[in-house]
Amino acid sequence: MELGRVSNNSLIARIESALAAVRARGATAQFLADVIRGNGRALEGMAYPLINELEKLANDLDIASWHEEDEFLPDLPSILSKVDRWLHQLPRDAA
């Protein structure tokens, strides 16, 4: 690994940590959107459909965050499930 380069596994771990924080209600949907954008765009070897999905998920989380003051967010659990599926498709570093 080059000096200053963050591995895909580290970037993905950051996203997974943010996802867990949102599920535990320790972070907001907006926080997760920002983490997905910041870390997801730095991933190497991303297929174009995964990049498109990154943007769609982040946008969906943005919209959910507009309604976070409401106690009931019916769309957030489905968005978080989509984030899970997206994460499992991301290119990981060789062990």
> Per residue of the chain (95 residues), what is the pLDDT tens digit?
455 678 999 999 999 999 999 999 999 999 999 999 999 999 999 999 999 999 999 999 998 888 766 655 558 899 999 999 999 999 998 65
Question: What's the pLDDT at 9?
Answer: 96
Question: What's the pLDDT at 65?
Answer: 86
CA distance 50 to 84: 13
Question: What's the pLDDT at 53?
Answer: 97
CA distance 24 to 50: 26
CA distance 37 to 59: 10
Q: Tell me the whole-structure pTM to 2 decimals.
A: 0.87
